[in-house]
């Protein structure tokens, strides 16, 4: 087995491939490879800088780490939807093609049987197979759903390079047998899959507003959340025999154990 080498990982899969007959599957494979080659050529990635693995209904590309990931993402966002429109315009209804794609980075080794080995590759495959990405594709009018790994978002997407609008990517969490995987979906997140985590918030996200009235004792104190009530008394307030005089607002945290007199002298009525 070779030593693990840093690579850019590109995975593209055809939706509902197994539902087609042999003739349609052969056609879809040709179209998939043509679209993939076109996108990579647009990104400036020639054939000497990539390895391809054939997975029937999907294509896996290991790309030289020195190739521009920025150019690759730009090509995927623009070139692939355009190519899909051209292909589907000429195809019969049974041969329409819709694609899911994942871009990730990581270390991958190649074994003696030309198999690819690496946990980063495994994570990318699980993102590609995630129900969330499948659901996103079902909602896409351009027949293409793109997901990028957390590392690709941190290194490229969040900086909003030309042609890669950061605001169009949304944080997602994908369940896997190795635990939750953080990633970013291009386009809207399908209903029911909204990310509820706080990690990886994008630029411009603001913290949740503090409840009106300020902070106070909460559940961490072992009791119910404390409500803060503000009192504005019109005169002196007598507490346990003392006099609290003047214009006092927001007396809190104490317990009144005797008469409270409002508006000046009184006899303790209304106790």
Model confidence band, residue 14 (pLDDT cutoffs 50, 70, 90): very high
pTM above 0.85, yes or no: no
* Rounded mean pLDDT, 180-200: 78
* Rounded mean pLDDT, 168-180: 90
**CA distance linking residue 216 with residue 203, whole number of Å:** 29
Q: Does residue 240 carry a pLDDT above 70?
A: no
* Rounded mean pLDDT, 166-174: 96
* Rounded mean pLDDT, 147-172: 96
Domain 5-186: give its CATH code: 3.30.70.1230
Structure confidence by residue, pLDDT tens digits, 104-153: 999 999 887 778 888 999 999 999 999 999 999 999 999 999 999 999 99
**CA distance linking residue 87 with residue 97, whole number of Å:** 8
Buried b (16+ CB within 10 A) or exposed e, 114-130: eebebebbbbbbbbbbb
* Rounded mean pLDDT, 219-238: 48
* Rounded mean pLDDT, 97-102: 97
Q: Which two tokens stand for residue 172?
A: 């997602």
Model confidence band, residue 236 (pLDDT cutoffs 50, 70, 90): low
Amino acid 98: pLDDT: 97
124 to 4, 61, 161, 176: CA distances (angstroms): 16, 12, 23, 11
Domain locations in the chain?
5-186, 226-266
User: What is the DSSP code (8-state) at residue 188?
Assistant: P
């Amino acid at each position: 087995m070779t030593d693990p080498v840093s690579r850019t990982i590109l995975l593209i899969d055809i939706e509902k491939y197994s539902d087609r007959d042999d003739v349609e599957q052969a056609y879809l494979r040709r179209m998939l490879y043509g679209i993939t080659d076109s996108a990579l050529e647009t990104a400036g990635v020639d054939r000497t800088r990539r390895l391809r693995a054939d997975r029937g209904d999907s294509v896996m590309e290991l790309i030289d780490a020195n190739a521009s990931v920025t150019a690759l993402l730009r090509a995927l966002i623009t070139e692939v939807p355009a190519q899909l429109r051209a292909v589907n315009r000429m195809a019969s209804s049974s041969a329409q093609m819709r694609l899911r794609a994942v871009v990730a980075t990581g270390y991958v080794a190649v074994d003696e049987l030309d198999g690819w080995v690496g946990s980063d590759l495994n994570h990318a495959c699980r993102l590609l197979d995630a129900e969330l990405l499948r659901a996103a594709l079902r909602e896409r009018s351009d027949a293409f759903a793109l997901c990028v790994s957390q590392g690709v978002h941190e290194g490229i997407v969040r900086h909003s390079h030309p042609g890669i609008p950061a605001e169009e990517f949304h944080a997602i969490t994908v369940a896997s047998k190795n635990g939750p995987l953080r990633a970013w979906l291009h386009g809207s997140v399908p209903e029911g899959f909204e990310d509820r985590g706080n990690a990886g918030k994008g630029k411009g996200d603001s913290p949740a507003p503090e409840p009106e009235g300020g902070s106070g004792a909460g559940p961490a104190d072992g009791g119910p959340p404390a409500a803060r009530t503000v009192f504005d008394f019109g005169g002196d307030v007598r507490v346990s025999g003392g006099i609290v005089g003047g214009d006092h607002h927001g007396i809190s945290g104490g317990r009144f154990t005797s008469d409270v007199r409002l508006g000046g002298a009184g006899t303790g009525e209304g106790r």
